[in-house]
A and B are shown apart, each in its own frame.
Chain A
Amino acid sequence: MSSTDISIHTDVHAHEEHDHHHDQNFFEKYIFSQDHKVIAKQFLFAGIFWAFVGGFLSILFRLQLGWPEATFTFLEPILGGWIDNGKLDPEFYLALVTMHGTIMVFFVLTAGLSGTFANFLIPLQIGARDMASGFMNMLSFWIFFLASIVMFWSLFLETGPAGGGWTVYPPLSALPQAIKGSASGMTMWLISMALFIVSQLLAGVNYITTIINLRTKGMSMTKMPLTVWALFFTAILGLLSFPVLFSAALLLIFDRSFGTSFYLSDIYIAGEALTNTGGSPILFQHLFWFLGHPEVYIVILPAFGLVSEVIATNSRKPIFGYRAMIGSMIGIAVLSFVVWAHHMFVTGMNPFLGSVFMFLTLIIAVPSAVKVFNWIATLWRGNIRFSTGMLFAVGFVSLFISGGLTGIILGNSALDIQLHDTYFVVAHFHLVMGAAAFFGMFCGVYHWFPKMFGRMMDEKLGAVHFWFTFISVYLVFMPMHYIGIAGFPRRYYNWTGFETFNIFTDMNTFISLAAIFGFTAQFIFLFNFIYSIFKGRRATENPWHSNTLEWTTPVLPGHGNWPGEIPTVYRWPYDYSKPGAAEDFIPQNVPFSQTQSSNLPSERELE
Chain B
Amino acid sequence: MITFAIGLSIVLLFVILFLLFRIGTLASIFRGSSQRAVGTTRTSNRVNSTLFLLFLILGGAAFVWSFADSWDTMNLPLASVHGEWTDDLFWTTMIVIGVVFVITQILLFIYSFKYQHKDDKRAYYYPHNNKLEIVWTMIPAVVMALLVFGGWKTWTKITSAAPEDAVVIEVMGKQFNWMVRYPGADGQLGVAKHTLIDATNEFGVDFSDPAAKDDFMPMEIHVPKGQPVLFKIRSRDVIHSVFLPHFRVKMDAVPGMPTKFWFVPTKTTDEMRSETGNPDFKYELACTEICGRGHFAMRYILVVDEPEDYQAWLAKQTPFAEQNPEVVAKFSSSSSQKTVAENNTVVTTEEVKSEL
B and A form one assembly = yes
Residue among B137, B147, B238 having the largest count of chain A Cβ atoms under 10 Å: B238
Q: How far is the CA of A415 from the CA of B151 in the complex (A)?
A: 8
Residue among A365, A386, A460, A545 having the largest count of chain B Cβ atoms under 10 Å: A386
CB distance from B234 to the nearest CB of A (A): 8
* Contact residue among B94, B123, B158, B289 (Cβ-Cβ distance under 8 Å from A417): B158
Q: How far is the CA of A383 from the CA of B136 in the complex (A)?
A: 24
Q: Chain B contacts of A178 at CB under 8 A? A: 175, 237-238, 291-292
Nearest opposing residue in chain A for B134, CB measure? A324
Indicate if the CB atoms of B155 and A413 lie closer than 8 Å.
Answer: yes
Indicate if the CB atoms of B239 and A498 lie closer than 8 Å.
Answer: no
Indicate if the CB atoms of A401 and B108 lie closer than 8 Å.
Answer: yes
CB distance from A45 to the nearest CB of B (A): 23
Q: Does B222 contact A (CB under 8 A)?
A: no
Given contacts A91-B292, A384-B115, A544-B38, contact A279 B256 (CB under 8 A): yes
Given contacts A320-B128, A394-B112, contact A179 B292 (CB under 8 A): yes
28 CB-based A-B contacts, threshold 8 Å:
A94-B290, A178-B175, A178-B291, A265-B255, A279-B256, A280-B257, A322-B127, A323-B128, A346-B241, A346-B252, A348-B233, A348-B252, A348-B258, A379-B112, A384-B39, A386-B48, A405-B101, A409-B93, A417-B158, A417-B250, A459-B44, A460-B24, A482-B74, A483-B74, A490-B290, A493-B296, A579-B125, A584-B123
Q: How far is the CA of A501 from the CA of B104 in the complex (A)?
A: 33
Indicate if the CB atoms of B123 and A280 lie closer than 8 Å.
Answer: no
Q: Does B165 contact A (CB under 8 A)?
A: no
By Cβ-Cβ distance, the 4 closest A-B pairs, closest first, are A385-B39, A265-B256, A348-B259, A351-B159
Nearest opposing residue in chain B for A470, CB measure? B55
* Contact residue among B34, B104, B144 (Cβ-Cβ distance under 8 Å from A366): B144
Interface pick from A55-63, A218-226, A356-364, A552-560: A356-364
Q: Does A317 contact B (CB under 8 A)?
A: yes
Indicate if the CB atoms of A494 and B296 lie closer than 8 Å.
Answer: yes
Indicate if the CB atoms of A497 and B246 lie closer than 8 Å.
Answer: no
* Contact residue among B39, B141, B238, B356 (Cβ-Cβ distance under 8 Å from A171): B238
Indicate if the CB atoms of A281 and B197 lie closer than 8 Å.
Answer: no
Nearest opposing residue in chain A for B278, CB measure? A499
> Apart from A482-B74, A497-B297, A578-B125, what 12 extra A-B contacts exist at CB < 8 Å?
A266-B256, A268-B195, A372-B104, A376-B107, A384-B45, A385-B45, A390-B39, A417-B250, A478-B66, A482-B70, A543-B38, A544-B37
CB distance from B90 to the nearest CB of A (A): 5
CB distance from B332 to the nearest CB of A (A): 19
Indicate if the CB atoms of B48 and A391 lie closer than 8 Å.
Answer: yes
Q: Chain B contacts of A409 at CB under 8 A? A: 90, 93-94, 97
Q: Does B331 contact A (CB under 8 A)?
A: no
Indicate if the CB atoms of B284 and A499 lie closer than 8 Å.
Answer: yes
* Contact residue among B111, B140, B237 (Cβ-Cβ distance under 8 Å from A267): B237
B153-195 interface mask toward A, CB cutoff 8 Å, 1 = contact, 0 = none?
0111011000000000000000100000000000000000111
Indicate if the CB atoms of A401 and B104 lie closer than 8 Å.
Answer: yes
Q: How far is the CA of A296 from the CA of B52 in the complex (A)?
A: 28
Q: Chain B contacts of A316 at CB under 8 A? A: 122-123
Chain B residues at the A interface, C-beta cutoff of 8 Å: 21, 24-25, 28, 34, 37-40, 44-45, 47-49, 51-52, 55, 59, 63, 66-67, 70, 73-76, 83, 85-86, 89-90, 93-94, 96-97, 100-101, 104-105, 107-109, 111-112, 115-118, 121-129, 132-133, 136-137, 140-141, 144, 147-148, 151-152, 154-156, 158-159, 175, 193-195, 197, 204, 233, 236-239, 241, 243, 245-246, 248-252, 254-259, 280-282, 284, 286-297, 299, 356
A85-130 interface with B by 8 A CB criterion: 90-91, 94
A163-199 interface mask toward B, CB cutoff 8 Å, 1 = contact, 0 = none?
0110001011001001100000000000000000000
Q: Chain A contacts of B140 at CB under 8 A? A: 365-366, 369-370
Indicate if the CB atoms of B38 and A269 lie closer than 8 Å.
Answer: no
A288-327 interface mask toward B, CB cutoff 8 Å, 1 = contact, 0 = none?
0000000000000000000000000011111111111000
Q: Does A254 contact B (CB under 8 A)?
A: no
Indicate if the CB atoms of B105 and A498 lie closer than 8 Å.
Answer: no
Nearest opposing residue in chain A for B47, CB measure? A463
Indicate if the CB atoms of A421 and B289 lie closer than 8 Å.
Answer: yes
Indicate if the CB atoms of A386 and B124 lie closer than 8 Å.
Answer: no
Q: How far is the CA of A495 from the CA of B245 in the complex (A)?
A: 14
Nearest opposing residue in chain A for B137, CB measure? A370
Q: Does A487 contact B (CB under 8 A)?
A: yes
CB distance from B38 to the nearest CB of A (A): 5
Q: How far is the CA of A171 from the CA of B267 in the complex (A)?
A: 37
Indicate if the CB atoms of A269 and B144 lie closer than 8 Å.
Answer: no
Q: Does A381 contact B (CB under 8 A)?
A: yes
Q: Chain B contacts of A460 at CB under 8 A? A: 21, 24-25, 28, 44
Indicate if the CB atoms of B123 and A414 lie closer than 8 Å.
Answer: no
Q: How far is the CA of A323 from the CA of B233 in the complex (A)?
A: 50
* Contact residue among B74, B115, B284, B290 (Cβ-Cβ distance under 8 Å from A315): B115
CB distance from B163 to the nearest CB of A (A): 16
Nearest opposing residue in chain B for A169, CB measure? B239
Indicate if the CB atoms of B295 and A387 lie closer than 8 Å.
Answer: no
Q: Does A591 contact B (CB under 8 A)?
A: no
CB distance from A36 to the nearest CB of B (A): 26
Nearest opposing residue in chain B for A493, CB measure? B296
CB distance from A287 to the nearest CB of B (A): 15
Q: Does A576 contact B (CB under 8 A)?
A: yes
* Contact residue among B34, B76, B256 (Cβ-Cβ distance under 8 Å from A500): B76
Given contacts A322-B128, A379-B112, A380-B115, contact A366 B175 (CB under 8 A): no
Indicate if the CB atoms of A500 and B284 lie closer than 8 Å.
Answer: yes
Indicate if the CB atoms of A577 and B292 lie closer than 8 Å.
Answer: no
Q: Chain A contacts of B249 at CB under 8 A? A: 417
Nearest opposing residue in chain A for B193, CB measure? A266
Q: Does A152 contact B (CB under 8 A)?
A: no
